[in-house]
Structure 1
Amino acid sequence: MRILAVDDDPLFLRLLQGTLADAGYDQVDYSASAEAALDAVRAAEVPFDCFLLDIRMPGTDGIELCRQLRALPAYTIVPILMLTAVIDEDMIDRAFQAGATDYVTKPLKGLELGARIRMAAMLAEQTRQTVCLRQSAGKMQARLDTLTKIELSAELDLAGGPCCLSMPQLHGLLRLLPSGGYNMSVFALRIAEIDEAHAALGPGEFFAFLSDIAKTISERIAPRDHYIAYAGDGIFGAVAFGRDRATEQAGPEAMKYAGKIPTPTAGAKVGPVTLGYNQSAESRLLSGIAGAAALRKALAAARDLKKLDQRRHDLDADRMGARMVVPQRPRLLGPGRPFRPQVI
């Protein structure tokens, strides 16, 4: 163990040298002032393992030196023992507040000093191990959070009810339909606030948030036969089957839910949700292959409109920052089709 002892009394330093040698410590450096001690610390190629500081010294005393040492990254944990000839409770309290590990009274006894140094070193090692474990746990948690973080663009198999499928399952179901024509309505719904929700919610909350929205959409489409899948980026693809006018209106019906979606894990963090609607094919006869193609078209249109909305949002923000007047512009879902968001 490499020790730095600091005291302004040369005679005491000589006595301390013998005491430390008797206690089994022979790697000891000595300084006569706080300034000299700091110079030694800065010049040391290998950090010291322990400090013995006289409390009462002219100029910068031992308490202030202790505080300055604790401010150095390499010495936040190492043992610092204060040396004092008189027990002054107020001074001892200030020494501990400055970061002292323990104190020893003069005149020094080899056995006592050695025991105090060893005990302080054990405490410092336990503290170091605790800090390392906490840092490792923090890094591991950060790693787990990174690994479990749901990417915004990820397709998910949501727990929104029996009509919720994964996107590959929905495409596969359409492609595997027997040959012939099916009366179906194919459309996409997109969450306008998806970026805010993704940033505000943890992985489990975000999954529950999307599942609750899928469940609500399914309830608005029912009782018609239908399937819903999440395509990522806040976009849902849906297919409703039927022969009546209501099937044609399945998409708009999904947007008419009044009130907040019941999201118990996310309701306090995410406000009312706005759904945009893209209908690729109205209720008409389509083969399964054509239905799958119509679904891809609806999803692509929804993604393009999401990107367009983001560009418009960024442009509006730039103009607002420049204090320019930003006129309200209608959001278009396609040629001649205005965007009429509904709060669900």
Structure 2
Amino acid sequence: MSDEIQSHDSSSTPARTEPVQDPGLQPHQWRPTDVDPAQERRAERQISGMFTVAALLFVLFAVSYFAIDSDQTFLNWSASNFALGATLGGGLLLIGVGIIQWAKKLMGDHEMVEMRHPARSSAEDREAVMADINAGLRESGVGRRPLIRNSLFLSVGALAVPSVVLLRDLGPLPHGQDETVWKKGMRVVNDVSGLPIRPEEIEVGQLINAEPAVFFPAEGEEEAEVHGHELLAAKSKAAIIVVRMRPEDITPSEGRENWGIDGILCYSKICTHVGCPISLWEQQTHHLLCPCHQSTFDLADNGKVIFGPAHRPLPQLPLGVDSEGYIIAMSDFPEIVAPSYPELARDQKRLDGES
């Protein structure tokens, strides 16, 4: 019985034939650029011109970014936004239109019929597809149309100019950003109350979030010279933590023996990994933990990294006491207060000062 069923199944399988002998395709219509060399060259110049103008618009984007002030207006619009949008949008539009015209006028233009097939193509079909792709590349004329090819590469390459300019808005460049507002003699104040701090007010094991007194001017004193977002940036970069440990638990490195006051040390609040604010204090181990990626610093050992992705010690601020008994900074931070940017600028400045 099984043999009969098998024989019946095999004999009932129809041979593969084309479902529609004539799908109704109209005769192929040749385009003007296919039969007229002059039309072909004209289309090539038009497409190349679009790509070239797109490259110029991308360069104008960068020029507009730096040349037009943000407060200038054009037809009651922001002149800067209008120029940036027009140049970037126009360049991208020209690249798109140029590619479409290239495909419609110069690339291969032959009707194709593809029958339905199983989800997985056979090896022969895959080889045929690759052959068609290679044939399409040859018919596109990339190899024999250097004018279009080179102008397209020029426009796409020029697109990197707006990209680099826009990346600049992500934040200030690290060069020249290695200083804070801390200066010799500037008082350390509580970042909430703005009150200066005396050494006797800090207990062993205590941590205080603090900042420079410049942000809390006393009555009659001048306010900070920076305002708005610049003031907020300066405050965040100058943020510090003040901790007190037993002096016998501290192991200062050479040259830092006098940076503390009877066990009171001061460090930057900015993690050296990616700049997260840090103040998770383990008073028994003298460890400071970053809440973002768990970098751990030993404040009893010069802010040394003992765990996590950070690879620079936490910057330390040298402290002193003024004539009225308040804690003051003895200088700015000797190290860069920032994520792990190169320290060449500060190192060079230090060398220049020593020389």
What's the TM-score, normalizing by structure 1? 0.30
**Structure holding more strand per residue:** 1
**Structure holding more helix per residue:** 1
What's the TM-score, normalizing by structure 2? 0.29
